[in-house]
Amino acid sequence: MSLKRTFYFIFILFVSFSGISQRSFKILKNNDRVTIPFTLVNNLVVISAKVNGKELSFLLDTGIDKTILFNLKFSDSLILKNVEKIKLRGLGEGQPIEALKSKNNLLRINNIVNPNHLVFMIIDDQFDLSTKMGIDINGIIGGDLFKDFIVKINYSNKKITFYNPKFYVYKKCNNCITLPLEFYNQKPYIDVFVEDHLGEEFKVKLLIDSGGGDALWLFENTHPKITVSDKFFEDYLGRGLSGSIYGKRSKIKKVRIGDFILENILVSYPDSTSIITVHKSKYRNGTLGAEILKRFHVIFDYQNSKITLKKNLFYKTPFLYNKSGMELIFSGDVLVQEKSSRFVNYEFKDNKSSLITEVMAIYNLAYKPGYEISFIRKQSPAHFAGLLVGDIIIEINGKPAYEKKLDEIIYTLSGKENKKIKLLIERNGKQLKYEFLLKNIL
């Protein structure tokens, strides 16, 4: 998988007309539903969609109301229509970024189509989710899609179903709960109760963000009872449209969503500089992310302002976090030497016929995914071991790193306290060995 960031676009400046209203999705042939598979990476849903005939990968994100494109390579060349330059502002500590606004595009997801779709193309090549997730991600799609359907996400079997609201009938479900949604700027919000480290329960209003991999974000200074426990650590929380997001990580005792109770929840408190655009609104106290959503079968019904939840097989899985203190990104393909064996038979005919088998070692060069350390938390096991930002991970616990997906490596680094991690890394052309023990900070 190559991450060369060479953009190639053809801009066609004309207006197309259609009988279907602007930014409206429809199911072809008047079918009542469309079910498609998805890839689950770091708790996030990734689907395939075509923009003007070009197939791309999209992160499904209820936390935005637009369709955004980025990280397009030469091989991803596509036609964008009715283009104008704009500025986009989002979470992060940086400045607004340049983007292209394009109208009247044909977006198709299986048998779902919108011939008049509005998309935004980020020009800044620093915004790249592919390196963080380990697979190619070309865009984000959210509220534009959810508002036209009843959407059921089955995290267990990795399938998502889009229902035509005209034909959808709610079935009786004794183990389900249905809760009201509120909308602000076309984004869904839900009221939940949290029990903090002091054992005090209070209500907060959270954005439902299927594109956020964490369980819970709470914003300090938006509620008098939102305070950080003395037991926390400073960390890199992720990447927003406007740059990196930093903050504190800690735990709270409980989250209560209707009748469902989740315990010992990981919570992040982003720095105020990273969420300055959020603080302009008194409507929001934080974010309910995919680490919680994935524990349910979820039905989003935007038109009737409600959400239905049912426990799935992930419900009781513990909330884990990376105990190594280092963040990894996909660093592009690396050339590695692979060893394989070939059996060669030799037959000798003398007084007795005999057969000798020789095992020959064969070495091939192949391109494999490489992983790079992008961030190291101070006072962490990785920091004390002497690892540095920019180090390339060659092996982890004696196994080639390229044999693992990025989320598999993160899972290894989220293991039990005192688990030994052995790394072979490459730094400035030299291979070095390091080891450390995972430490439970929370």
Overall pTM > 0.85: no
Tokens describing residue 411: 């899972």
Chosen CATH of 326-437 out of 2.30.42.10, 2.60.120.10, 3.20.20.140, 2.60.40.1250? 2.30.42.10
pLDDT bucket at 14, cuts 50 / 70 / 90: very low
Compute the mean pLDDT over every residue in the chain, rounded to the nearest whole number.
Answer: 83
Name which residue leads in pLDDT, 365 or 251: 251
Specify the CATH architecture of the domain 9-163. Beta Barrel (2.40)
pLDDT at 213 over 70: yes
Mean pLDDT confidence for 298-323: 95
- CA atoms 373, 378, 382, 386: torsion sign: positive
Beta bridge partners of 188: 183
95-108, pLDDT tens digit by residue? Answer: 667 788 888 999 99
In the chain, where does the domain assigned CATH 2.30.42.10 lie?
A: 326-437
Q: Which helix (H) or strand (E) holds 145?
A: helix 143-146
pLDDT over 90 percentage in the chain: 52
Cα separation, 48 vs 110, in Å, equals: 8
Q: What integer pLDDT is reported at residue 6 of this predicted model? A: 32
Mean pLDDT confidence for 252-281: 83
Cα separation, 339 vs 403, in Å, equals: 13
Beta bridge partners of 266: 251
Residues written for the chain = 442
Find which of 147-161, 343-357, 398-412 is predicted with most confidence, using mean pLDDT: 147-161
Q: What integer pLDDT is reported at residue 177 of this predicted model? A: 95
pLDDT bucket at 179, cuts 50 / 70 / 90: very high
Tokens describing residue 24: 């409206």
Mean pLDDT confidence for 267-292: 79
pLDDT bucket at 221, cuts 50 / 70 / 90: confident
Tokens describing residue 222: 């938006």
Find which of 330-339, 345-354, 394-403 is predicted with most confidence, using mean pLDDT: 394-403
Cα separation, 294 vs 385, in Å, equals: 34
Tokens describing residue 184: 């602000």
Q: What integer pLDDT is reported at residue 94 of this predicted model? A: 57
pLDDT at 5 over 50: no
Cα separation, 125 vs 113, in Å, equals: 28
pLDDT bucket at 363, cuts 50 / 70 / 90: low
Cα separation, 380 vs 233, in Å, equals: 10
In the chain, where does the domain assigned CATH 2.40.70.10 lie?
A: 9-163, 176-311
110-123, pLDDT tens digit by residue? Answer: 999 999 999 988 87
Mean pLDDT confidence for 83-97: 67
CATH number attached to the domain at 176-311: 2.40.70.10
- CA atoms 121, 238, 187, 147: torsion sign: positive
Cα separation, 144 vs 119, in Å, equals: 10
Cβ atoms of 106 and 118 closer than 8 Å = no
Q: What integer pLDDT is reported at residue 352 of this predicted model? A: 60
